[in-house]
Amino acid sequence: MKTFLIWFKNARYAAIPQSLLPALVALCFASQTPGFSLILGVVSVIGVVFAHLGSNLLDDYFDAKMNDSSYKDRLASKGIRARIAKCSYLTDGSATIKQLFIAATLFCLTALALGTIILIFRFDQWNQFLWIVLTTIIIGVFYSGWPIRLSYHGLGEFSIAVLFGPLLMQGVFLSASGTISIPLFFISIPIGILVGNIVYTHAILDYEPDKMIHKKTFAVVLNHKKLNSFFSFLFNFSPYIIVLLGVIFNILHPIYLLTLIPLPLSFWLFKSILSFQKNPNLDPIKKWFHVPMEQWKEVNAAGIGWFMLRWYTARNIIILFCLISAFIGLFFNI
């Protein structure tokens, strides 16, 4: 158990809401269907979490193989502001790359085993289920893995949006209900974009160090502050525009306008990104509405509060958006 908890922490458990909340939204929507199975739904949600953590560890593994894990510390020492302490468990010697690979493999195999259980009970939908699982595996492994390395060619944010939005949510819905859902597909698009926004915000904040090591995130591919600001605007606000259009054209019930509640947080985040691009050394001010921000004291002590405050905000936006969507799916059946 102790070893599991260590690797659970190493797998960046703070990012779990990125996958857990979209999965729970799909589970709430599925609860209104005739073929709903709570057990299979819960199994699928647990599988999603293990797959997410396994993917995070694989990302660390491939990054460490591509670059010395201390490269951001060296860049920071040269005056380039970088989010240091990535893969700190490798740089401080508490784990080896081999141990990292084994842990990532075990997390992913656990997710695959849970998926196999679901497939047995939903075998009549094996073709749809298999398509979702295989596509998820391909994106998850090759997000940082050779030879495709999506995150190194400007496709990371879009891969995440597809993976954590439509693919994940339809997979959980299919597992729990035995069918797929068109209304859920529509709401999964803004959810996927908001998850992708976490990665894109990360990419803008790590623009200089990523560029130095030739990691072509979407921000590096754009290679222009105004373009990066424009796409930050799209990532932050297009989800709300999609919801508004859905309501206007009677695709979504007006109650979905409740998902606009996180909009002030999105305004703050976008403004903070603009501020960062003008002056990277100007730290944002922590406000009451930024919570939750777990381990904030440790984050500040590590010197990455400037990064994590923005990261937490991007994550908390998706948390709030998903909680509202889950409430609608669970109680309104529309």
Residue 79 has pLDDT above 70, yes or no: no
Confidence of residue 183 (pLDDT cuts 50, 70, 90): confident
Quick one: pLDDT band at residue 77, thresholds 50, 70, 90? very low
Q: What CATH number should be reported for the domain whose range is 2-331? A: 1.10.600
Q: Which residue has the higher pLDDT, 331 or 65?
A: 331
User: Is residue 215 scored above 90 in pLDDT?
Assistant: no
Share of the chain above pLDDT 90, in %: 63
* Side chain identity, residue 90: L
pTM: 0.90
Say yes or no to pLDDT of 238 above 60. Answer: yes
Q: Alpha-carbon distance 257 to 238, whole Å?
A: 14
Using left for φ > 0, alpha for ψ between -120 and 50, and beta otherwise, residue 250 falls in left
- Per-residue pLDDT tens for 313-331? 999 999 999 999 999 999 8
* pLDDT, mean of residues 122-127: 90
Of 298, 156, 294, 270, which Cα lies nearest the Cα of 220?
156
What band does 240 get if pLDDT is binned at 50, 70 and 90?
very high
What are the CB-based long-range contacts (under 8 Å, 24+) for 244-247? 246/186, 246/187
pLDDT-above-70 percentage for the chain: 93
Q: Summarize pLDDT for 95-124 with one digit per residue, the tens.
A: 899 999 999 999 999 999 999 999 999 999
Q: Where are the domains of the chain?
A: 2-331
